[in-house]
């Protein structure tokens, strides 16, 4: 398959109001793509779009809550009508939920799956004809570190991200004959708001949750722009999988070489990374 050509194509990016999505939009604009941006945050979306339009790129925005299947279907139809040829679709939007499976309601669990997986599959299905109409098109879905490993307290998130991983791997085989590339992305500790904005399960102890969230946020050290560049390099080279940061590459290696024991090794690494440092430790 030829290298992906960004110039002059239309790229659709979800979750584009901030974090990796906004960084991807800027990276795509620098590479000459026109943009279709989706997010539920209207103000953030407008700010990103204004900055991109100042560079001379064509930008269309759609405010949508991807947890709403009917709203997702409606916006997908609008995009397809306005953009019958799409060169790149990046399913980046995602949400998180803190709590063990027995500490969250099934509605809370379902909300994560709706945004992180159902919306990915729904948008892909709706926009696939537009991708097939554009020679050399490409599809990206952002999974997670937790689409490689599944820690306690992340049942909903891991279930949704493992689903994204399986979905994209199967699609890669199905779409190869159409000349459409497919990339699954597994970011490690990227510095976004997803942990800060995570919902808390109804049965979760809030004090313990906040303590865990603070410790987890210390591991989020990768700049979103760095992550976006890694993704776009992967797209250009038609890579099937992109791992971002040692916090994704190391767990991926451990789960391969120690499928039963990797949980204990990762727990030890996590404790070492989040332990307060003394001045002598740097």
Which position among 62, 109, 117, 157 bears the catalytic label? 157
> Which ranges in the chain belong to alpha helices (H)?
19-30, 42-53, 69-82, 106-113, 119-132, 155-175, 206-217, 224-236, 246-257, 262-274
- Over the range 99-128, which residues count as b (16 or more CB within 10 Å of their CB) and which as e? beeebbeeebbebbbbbbbbbbebbbebbb
DSSP reduced 3-state for 137: coil
Rounded to an integer, what distance in angstroms lies between the CA atom of residue 167 and that of residue 179?
18
DSSP 209-270: HHHHHHHHHTT--B-HHHHHHHHHHHHHTT-SEEEESHHHHHHHHHHHH-TTTHHHHHHHHH
Q: Is 62 a catalytic residue?
A: no
Cross-strand pairs, 38: 14, 62
Residues with a known catalytic role: 157
């Amino acid at each position: 398959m030829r290298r992906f050509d960004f110039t002059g194509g239309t790229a659709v990016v979800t979750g584009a109001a901030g974090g990796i999505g906004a960084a991807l939009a800027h990276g795509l604009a620098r590479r000459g793509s026109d943009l279709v941006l989706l997010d539920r945050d209207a103000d953030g979306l407008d700010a990103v779009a204004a900055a991109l339009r100042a560079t001379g790129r064509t930008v269309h925005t759609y405010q949508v809550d991807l947890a709403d299947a009917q709203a997702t279907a409606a916006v997908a139809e609008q995009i397809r009508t306005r953009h019958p040829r799409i060169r790149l679709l990046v399913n980046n939007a995602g949400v998180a939920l803190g709590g063990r499976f027995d500490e969250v309601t099934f509605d809370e669990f379902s909300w994560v799956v709706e945004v992180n997986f159902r919306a990915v599959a729904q948008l892909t299905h709706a926009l696939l004809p537009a991708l097939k109409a554009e020679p050399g098109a490409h599809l990206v879905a952002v999974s997670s570190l937790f689409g490689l490993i599944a820690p306690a307290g992340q049942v909903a998130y891991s279930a949704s991200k493992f689903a994204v991983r399986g979905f994209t791997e199967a699609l890669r085989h199905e779409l190869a004959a159409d000349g459409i590339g497919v990339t699954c992305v597994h970011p490690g500790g990227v510095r976004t708001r997803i942990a800060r904005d995570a919902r808390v399960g109804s049965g979760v102890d809030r004090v313990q949750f906040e303590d865990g969230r603070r410790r987890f946020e210390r591991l989020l050290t990768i700049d979103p722009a760095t992550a976006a560049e890694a993704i776009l390099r992967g797209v250009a080279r038609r890579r099937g999988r992109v791992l971002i940061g040692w916090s994704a590459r190391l767990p991926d290696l451990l789960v391969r070489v120690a499928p039963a024991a990797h949980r204990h090794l990762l727990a030890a690494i996590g404790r070492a990374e989040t332990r307060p440092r003394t001045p002598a430790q740097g």
